[in-house]
Every structure is written in C-alpha cells, then in structure tokens.
Structure 1
C-alpha cells in the first residue's frame, strides 16, 4: 500500500505556479518538484516568483544566518 496517493485532479480553488511551464495552473497538474503552491487565487500564484525572490533576499540578509562572532577579521576560528 502506498503511503502517499498521487492526486491527479486538483481541488477547485487550488492554484499553483508551475516552474516548468512558467504559468499559473489550477490544481496539481505538474509534479510537486515543479510547482509552488497552493495559493488561494490565480493572482497570488502569478506573484509566486516575486514572493520567492523577496523571501530569499530577506533570508540572505538575516543576521541569524550569518554568525560572524565565531570568526575573527582574518576568517580563522577562535578557540
């Protein structure tokens, strides 16, 4: 028995952004590895790439991800 069933038909109102086809789709038409979502509306799905870019920028500039206290100015670790 399979642990996960593959849904072949999307639920009404589920919107995805397909990374492969670069378009908004209703329901999971493409594999999960190729899509962002679900979103509540096609307009939200249309902005999926913008939202991902904004979040990536926030994470790259988040000081919690860059622990500079463990290295000195030369880049060597201190004991």
Structure 2
C-alpha cells in the first residue's frame, strides 16, 4: 500500500503556472517540481513569474536578511 497517493486531478479553481511549459494550468497537470501555485485565479497564475521576481527583490533588499556583524575582516592570505 502506498503512503502517498498521486494526485492526478486538480480541484476546480486551483490555478498553477508550469515552469517547464511556461503556461497556466487549471489543476496540477505537471509535477510539483515544475510549477508554482496554487493560485486562486487564472490572472494571478499568469503573473507568477513577476510575483516571484518581486518577492526575490524584496527579500534581497530586506535588511533583516543581511548580517552586517561579520566581525573583523580577514586578509585572504591569512589562515
């Protein structure tokens, strides 16, 4: 008996963006490793890549994620 059942049909209203095919899908058609989602609307899924870019930029510029207390700098030749 399998521990995890493979889900082949998505729920109506679940939208995904497939990274492999670069298209919006209703329900999970492609494996989870190849998709973003679920989203609540088709329009939200259509903007998945822009949302990811915006979030990445937000995280990269968030001061909470940058450690400025590195301590004394070492010379590259110093062991």
TM-score, normalised via structure 1 length: 0.85
When the two chains are superposed, the root-mean-square deviation of aligned CA atoms in Å is: 1.2
Unaligned runs of 5+ in 2: 75-79
Matched, 1:21 2:21: yes
Q: Which runs of 4+ in 1 moved over 4 A?
A: none
Q: Distance in 1 between matches of 2:37 and 2:23?
A: 12
Aligned residues: 74
**TM-score calculated relative to the size of structure 2:** 0.85
Taking the aligned partners of 2:65 and 2:55, their CA distance within structure 1 comes to 13
Shift of 1:31: 0.1
